[in-house]
Amino acid sequence: MNIYFVVKAIKAIAPATVSLTMQQAQRNEYIIKVLKSLNLDSIQPPKDFEGVYAYALVEDGIFQADYILNFFRNKEIKKAFAKAFAEKALAINNEEWNTLKDEAQKAKIYLVQVQEFHQVFVTLAKRSMNTVEVINVQLQ
């Protein structure tokens, strides 16, 4: 077997593999924290909800207790933010705010902490969008 063809094949698939691995890593809280501590994190978070949400958990979670971060990791809580992200308005409707407020009270989390996380989330979501999307969000 000629090693040249093996090396050539590896070189051909390596960029795609590295790209896929980096995309997945940008959605992992632990990896994001490590990259931030080394000043190697991306200026612009990934464009998908999972990536933006993971970045928001890291950004807001720097000074938060684990029970607060676990609250935001909850599927039901995350769902309200996913809906806002999908609608590109980034605003959470009144019904969802009421649900978030009720869940926060049950978890003994102040509503201001939910509002602060929402603000971090919105800021990161806007950074992940292209300029036209940001202008459209600001006009709404």
Residues 31-65: pLDDT tens digits? 666 666 656 566 566 788 998 999 889 887 777 78
CA dist., res. 102 & res. 80, Å (int) = 13
Average pLDDT over residues 57-83: 88
**Residues 6 or more apart from 21 whose CB is under 8 A from it?**
none
Mind giving me the DSSP string for 57-69?
HHHHHTTS-HHHH
Continuous H helices in the chain: 3-25, 29-37, 49-61, 66-73, 75-86, 94-106, 111-128, 131-139
Q: Is 110 exposed, middle or buried (0-12, 13-18, 19+ CB in 10 A)?
A: exposed
pLDDT of amino acid 9: 57
CA dist., res. 40 & res. 35, Å (int) = 5
pLDDT in tens, 7-25: 465 556 655 544 444 555 4
Whether pTM exceeds 0.85: no
pLDDT of amino acid 4: 52
